[in-house]
Structures are given as C-alpha cells and as structure tokens.
Amino acid sequence: GAVVSQHPSRVICKSGTSVKIECRSLDFQATTMFWYRQFPKKSLMLMATSNEGSKATYEQGVEKDKFLINHASLTLSTLTVTSAHPEDSSFYICSARGSLAGYGYTFGSGTRLTVV
Amino acid sequence: AQKITQTQPGMFVQEKEAVTLDCTYDTSDPSYGLFWYKQPSSGEMIFLIYQGSYDQQNATEGRYSLNFQKARKSANLVISASQLGDSAMYFCAMREGPIGNQFYFGTGTSLTVIP
C-alpha cells in the first residue's frame, strides 16, 4: 500500500531556531501535499496545500513566512517552521494525494514539535 | 457553518459491544466523499472506511460499517464487537468535489473501550 514517511517523529528545539519536517512518499508520486496542525485533543487544521513545482496555497491566518513549504519533487515535501516560538509547539501531520490507497489520501505519521 | 459535525466529544463502550459514532455533514456539492479515521495516542491517522456520495450501498470494512443516510446528511460509524485496541480518537472527514480536494475534519470523538 501507499506509504508516506514523515520525519522526524518528535523534535525539541530552542526558541528562535528553525525546524524542518519532511514528508516523503515512498511508493507513489505525491502530486499534492496537505499540511495540517493539530493541538492536543483538537481536530486537524489545514495549514496549506502544495502542488509539486508550484507555490503552496496557505489557509487564512497561516503565516507564509513562518511556515515555509517546499514541494520540489513528486516524492518530497517539506515544512520549515522558522524562528520557532513556544506557541508553535504542536503536532504537524502531512497528507499526500497521488495514490489510490486510502481513497486518494495517505497520511504521514506526524511530527510532535516542542519549542523550549 | 461547520462542514462536519461530530457531537460526541467522548464515548464509552463495553468490550465486545457495538458502538455508533455520529457524524453529520453539510455540502451542496453533489459529488463528495466521506471518510473515517482512527487516531491513537501515537498520533498517526489510520484510514478506516470511505463512502462516496454516489455509492448505493453502505460501506463496510471488517468490524467497521458506515450508516450513510444521504437525505439526513449523516454518516455514522458503527464499530461492532469493540476491542480494547479500539480506544482512540475518531475523526469524520469530508472531501467536497473531486479527489484531490482538501478535507474538512470534524472535531473528533474520543472512544474508550471498557474491559
């Protein structure tokens, strides 16, 4: 079946530093990648949608300069949290479109970011 | 208006019993897809079941079935013969329009299976 590998699974970083999260489709080409943020015991909030080779489309209220999304290839999309602050601590998860598995959507395993 | 509504923040069920998790949706698009995901404490989103808006029959996948009532715009998940491992958050989600469009997620239901 389709697999999306998301790394790292957990990361702790210091305030002011940047963190890069990778989502890689292992056995299919991810034409579209969705990035979500989830607060504890809350639902998934869509942050942005990226298509390979083009700029990401950000949801209202999401800072483009803070959450940099790159989808440079059909198998890799990255989310970089720049100048991280404690309020950026959250669970980030990606979902890839490109395989018929899961009726078109395959989720990564998520990244738990803690900014100290 | 909310696209997906899950009105049960928390549910309890006795092991081996069946449980129904409610989900209602709101869309004017005739083409849509409804999904249920399980999210254990580890955080991964596990796909459970899918129902397309044009599907005539209710979807079933093992112990999971989807009670699809189109006129009422409801897509309830039924878990039969609950197991301790079913304890998790459950999210209902909808895709409007064609495959590739974004999802709308509900707020989730926390299910606890009691031994």
Reported as half-sphere exposure (CB side, CA atoms, 13 A), residue B63 has a value of 12
Say if residue A99's pLDDT is above 80.
Answer: no
> Distance from B115 to chain A by nearest Cα, in Å?
23
The answer to whether the Cβ–Cβ distance between B107 and A42 falls below 8 Å is: yes
Chain segment A52-68, per-residue pLDDT in tens: 888 899 999 999 999 99
Instruction: State the pLDDT at residue A104.
Output: 79
The answer to whether the Cβ–Cβ distance between A103 and B50 falls below 8 Å is: yes
Residues in chain A whose Cβ is within 8 Å of chain B: 31-32, 34, 38, 41-44, 46, 49, 91, 93, 95, 97, 102-105, 107, 109-110, 112
Instruction: State the pLDDT at residue B1.
Output: 75
Instruction: State the pLDDT at residue A101.
Output: 72
What does the DSSP assignment read for B25-86?
Answer: E----S-EEEEEEEE-TT---EEEEEEETT-SS--EETTEEEEEETTTTEEEEEE-S--GGG
- Rounded Cα distance between B53 and B75, Å, is 10
Chain segment B47-87, per-residue pLDDT in tens: 999 999 999 999 999 999 999 999 999 999 999 999 999 99
Distance of CA B75 to the CA centre of its chain: 7
Q: How many Cβ contacts (< 8 angstroms) between chains A and B?
A: 55
At A86, the amino acid letter reads: P
> Distance from A33 to chain B by nearest Cα, in Å?
9
Question: Of A92 and A73, which is predicted with more confidence?
Answer: A92
Element (H, E) at B21: strand B19-21
The answer to whether the Cβ–Cβ distance between B50 and A110 falls below 8 Å is: no
